[in-house]
Amino acid sequence: MAVRAMIESGESFARLRVSPEASISVPLSIELLDREQVPTDLHRDIGGGARVRAGIEFNSAGQRVAYRVSSFRPGDPLGSSRMDPVRVPAADFIHLFKPLAAGQLRGITWLAPVLLRLHELDQFEDASLVKAKVAALFTGFITDPDGTAGGLSGSNSSGVLTVGMEPGSLIPLPPGTDIRFSTPTEHDAYAPFVKNHLRAVAAGMGSPYELLSGDLEGVTYSSIRAGLIEFRRRVEQLQHNVVVHLFCRPVWERFVRLAVLSGDLPAHDFDRNPTAYLGCEWLPPKFDYVDPKKDVEAEILAIDAGLKSRTQAISERGYDAENIDAEIASDKERADTLGLCFEPRQAPLQQDPANA
């Protein structure tokens, strides 16, 4: 939800709350806030070089020390518009956004580069729908040079004759009378126009066109692989440099400290060596292979050539190498105990007694 809010609104906020009265062992809760609860129009000089800019309090050294947060969302019928924002220390607050310029204080929506194109595309689809409805109307025009035509069956309302037609019917017309039906022109550039617009939207969002539109027509293995590789690089950069750095790490650090203070995590040397407890490896969900056989064979060749390690290959797939090795050893031990053999395995090398 925090990442979704960051993409839609440009930023998201979360407050780390400690609730000693909670029934859980580690009394930590994460409260997601609406971006409007941190007013962007709040600017104030509080003296001594400290100031509030866009709802964020800075000290004289330019460091973020607190946030000014409203207790209610804008438009809350039970909220009060007269209540001043509450000061929340920055250590208890998480501000998740992707900075685009030096000195940027607040985030902007990721849809900003494509909002105009999306609005134009919506207008074009509305106009195309109206045109398709008009083209589907069955309308005829009676040509009567002498004005003597008459006797046609049907109901006449405001000069418009409504006639029911059945398949195979023959309707005699008076001499000199003719009926012509409207043939509206169809818009043959609908698909190319929509496709080009969606391609521009995908480029503005940094996403492959195939993922944004779901259109896999004409996609080849090479093209989809090239697009996905670049997209995965952007996602990994976002995961590790933005989400993990700004959101996950503060939550993990607060959780571990509370677990130590509550006694759920025995750590007698935490004060002397907190890094041993706060350090961890972040393994985001793995990306599925485009062609599993070729990709796995490429990884095997890279490992055999010494270009990467098994630990790196396993971590890239979202798993922990130590856990994988322990599971493999456990599976082999259980299979040997039960006398099972699923695949040929090489026997462990035995040391030569002469060289012992």
Residue-level pLDDT, tens digit, the chain, 356 residues: 999 999 999 999 999 998 776 667 788 889 999 999 999 999 999 888 899 999 999 999 999 999 999 888 777 777 665 667 899 999 999 999 999 888 899 999 999 999 999 999 999 999 888 888 877 777 777 776 666 555 566 676 766 667 766 777 666 777 777 777 777 666 677 888 888 889 999 998 888 888 888 888 888 878 888 888 888 889 989 999 999 999 999 999 999 998 888 888 888 888 888 888 888 888 888 777 777 888 888 889 999 999 989 988 888 888 888 899 999 999 998 988 888 887 655 555 555 555 55
Q: What is the pLDDT of residue 348?
A: 52
Q: What is the DSSP letter of 248?
A: I
Locate the domains of the chain by residue range.
2-96, 226-268, 283-340
Q: Provide the edge-to-edge strand list for the sheet that holds 50-53.
A: 44-47, 50-53, 56-58, 64-69, 86-89
Q: What is the pLDDT of residue 345?
A: 53
Q: Say if strands 44-47 and 28-33 run parallel, antiparallel, or are unpaired.
A: unpaired
Q: What is the DSSP letter of 146?
A: S
- SS3 at position 68: strand
Exposed, middle or buried: residue 339 (CB in 10 Å: 0-12, 13-18, 19+)? Answer: exposed
Q: What is the pLDDT of residue 7?
A: 93
- Separation of first and last alpha carbons in the chain: 61
User: Using N-to-C axis directions, what is the helix angle for 115-136 and 190-205, rounded to 10°?
Assistant: 160
Q: What is the pLDDT of residue 134?
A: 79
Buried b (16+ CB within 10 A) or exposed e, 272-307: eeeeebeeeeeeeeeeeeeeeeeeeeebeeeeeeee
Amino acid at 161: L
